Amino acid sequence: MKKIKYLLMVVVAIAILVAGYFVFMTVTDYKPDAKITLEINQKSNEDIDTAEFKATIFNIGYCGLDKEQDFFMDGGTGSRASSKEKVLSNLASITSFLEDNESDFILLQEVDFDSKRTYHINQYDKLNQSFHSYSDSYAVNYDVPWVPVPITKPMGDVNSGLVTLSKYKIDSSTRYQFPGEEKWPRQLALLDRCFIETRHKVSDDKELVIINTHMSAYDKGGFVREQQMNFLVEYLKNEYEKGNYVVVGGDWNQELPGSDADKMNPGEERPGWVKKIDVEFLNYIWAVDVKTPTTRDDDKPYVKGENYIAIIDGYLVSDNIEVIEVKTSDIGFENSDHNPVTLRFSLKMD
C-alpha cells in the first residue's frame, strides 16, 4: 500500500508540474498585434537615386543548423547548435559572404536575439557591427519562454526573428502578423509567423516596398500556409493599386513555381513539408533560380546526394520591376540549412 501511495504522489506531482507548465505558457504566450510599427536603426541617409538594385535573402538557420547538424522536427535529434564557438564561426562565415556579395538589401530569417539554442549570442548586434553603414529593422517571430522538446535536450527559451538591412534610408518599417496558427497547445511552442515591410521613397513619388517573409513550415496539409498566402495576395493587390514597386523575398516554406523537387530527388518520396504553391498573384511575377536547391532536409547531417533538397527561397516582384538576374549561391549548406539567393532588378520608371 505504501508503494502505491508513493506512486500516486509521484503521478500527481508530475500532473501538477505539467498543468502548471501549460498554464504558464498560455499566460505568457506571445500575442503580437496584427500590425506593429517597428523601430528603425537609421544609419544611412542615402535616398533611392538609381534604378538598379541588388537584394539577397538568407535563412541563416540561427547559425546552428550547419551541415553537421540535424533537427528534431524533421526527424533528427538535434535541438541546439553544437557549441558556442560553432555559432560564432557560422555567423562569421555568413557575414563574410554577405559582405562580399555587396547587396543593397539583405533580408535575413531565423536570426537569434537571445536563445538557449545558440548560447544567448545576440546575432543581430553582431550583424549590426559588421553592416555599420546599413539602416536596419527587425521583428520578433519566435518568443517562447521554454520549448520543452526534445525531452532529453529541450530547445529551451527562444527569442528570434527577421532582420532587414538596407544601404538606403528606410522611411518606415512595419511588422505584419500572418493569420492562421496551429491548435493549442502545439502553437505555444511554435513561431508567430510574420513579414517585415520596409518602405523607400522613389524619385517618381512612388515607393519601393521591400518585404522580408518567413512562412509556416510544419502545418499539416498546408492549411496555415494557405491562409498566409491569401493574406499576402490581398496585401500585394493593395500595394500594386498604389503604383508602388514591390519585392517580396524570403523563406516561403513551399516549393516555388518553376522548380521541381521530384526531379531534384529522383525516386525519393516527397516529404510533407514540400507543399506546392497553388495561389495566383495577379500583376506579380516569380523570380526563382530553378537550377540550385535553397534548402535541404534536416533529418540527418548534410551529405550531398543523400538529403532531400528543394527550392523554397526566392522572390515575387510586381510587374513594374524588371528581373535582371536571380541566382542561388550553392555554398553546400555549410553554415545553414539554406542557401542564399540574390536578385538583381531594376525599376520600370516612367
**What's the CA angle centered on 289, arms 101 and 258, to 5 degrees?**
160
pLDDT at 217: 92
Mean pLDDT score, 330-342: 98
For residue 12, pLDDT beyond 80: no
Residue 103 vs residue 183, higher pLDDT = 103
Query: What whole-number distance in Å separates Cα of residue 144 and Cα of residue 149?
Result: 12
Query: What whole-number distance in Å separates Cα of residue 30 and Cα of residue 231?
Result: 21
For residue 213, pLDDT beyond 70: yes
All structural domains of the chain with their residue ranges: 1-30, 31-347
Please state which CATH number belongs to domain 31-347.
3.60.10.10
What pLDDT band is residue 2 in, cutting at 50, 70 and 90? low
pTM: 0.96
245-251 vs 207-214, strand pairing mode: parallel
- Of the ranges 41-50, 157-166, 200-209, 220-229, which is most confident? 157-166
> 228 and 193 in contact (C-beta within 8 Å)?
yes
What pLDDT band is residue 258 in, cutting at 50, 70 and 90? very high
Residue 281 vs residue 19, higher pLDDT = 281
Query: What whole-number distance in Å separates Cα of residue 181 and Cα of residue 336?
Result: 26
3-state secondary structure of 82: coil
Query: What whole-number distance in Å separates Cα of residue 53 and Cα of residue 22?
Result: 48
pLDDT at 10: 74
